[in-house]
Amino acid sequence: MQRISALTLLLTFIAAPALAQDDRSYEGITWRKVSEPGIEVQGGEATGVLNAPIDRVARQVRDYASYDDFLPHFRQSRVLGERGDRAMVYLQVEILHGAGTLWAQVQIHARESGDGQVIEARMLRGNMDGFIARWKLEPVGDSQTRVTFTLVADPQVPAPSSVVANQNEVFAKKSVRALRNRLR
């Protein structure tokens, strides 16, 4: 029982900087907490405008094998199969500054949505109670793209849901920033 309490305390201290932020906008990226049906913890959602046309942004987001090259905390990203707008991908993400690893085999589906695109990953199996990641891409003129990234991950760790929700927000924000930096 002491080990669980120590881990919960550690997670709380790691998330403390995220809890202390009042400003919900930084470097042109805004973020908030969101809920997803079927997953108990809240997720994070971040939005930013990138200086790249939607086709270029979509190519990068759909290059699933490169996620571990530019997205924060990714250790592995392997495409297991791909056909048309669907892919099966194995993902491994580092948590707790390397003290733990989350993994998931996800089904990814890319689809048109209005004049934009949505690329959504849902966990088929893994060491989480739930996982959904969604990129929404919308053109802003010919040379910019509004990117909204939603992350709802419910890891199987003994931590308060508020700590997990804060980490989902932080990871969503860092992912939009990483994508923007990759496209520079």
What count of other Cβ atoms lies within 10 Å of the Cβ of residue 119? Answer: 21
**Among the ranges given (2-16, 59-73, 107-121), the one the predictor scored with the smallest mean pLDDT:** 2-16
Global pTM reads 0.86
Distance CA 122, CA 106 (A): 5
Question: What is the overall mean pLDDT for the chain?
Answer: 88
Distance CA 88, CA 25 (A): 33
Phi, psi (rounded to 5 degrees) for 102: -105, 145
Q: pLDDT higher for 3 or 36?
A: 36
Q: Is the pLDDT of residue 4 over 70?
A: no
Strand partners, 133: 121, 151
**Fold entry, domain 2-63+109-182:** Alpha-D-Glucose-1,6-Bisphosphate; Chain A, domain 4 (3.30.530)
Helices (H), the chain: 2-20, 54-61, 67-70, 161-182
For residue 181, the 8-state DSSP code is: H
Q: pLDDT higher for 112 or 13?
A: 112
In the block, which residue shows the tokens 């108990």?
40
Tell me, what's the pLDDT at 39? 93
Tell me, what's the pLDDT at 23? 54
pLDDT digit string, tens, across residues 34-88: 999 999 999 999 999 999 999 999 999 999 999 999 999 899 999 999 999 999 9
**Across 15-40, average pLDDT:** 75
| Domain-wise residue ranges, the chain | 2-63+109-182
pLDDT digit string, tens, across residues 120-171: 999 999 999 999 999 999 999 999 999 999 999 999 888 899 999 999 999 9
Q: pLDDT higher for 55 or 6?
A: 55
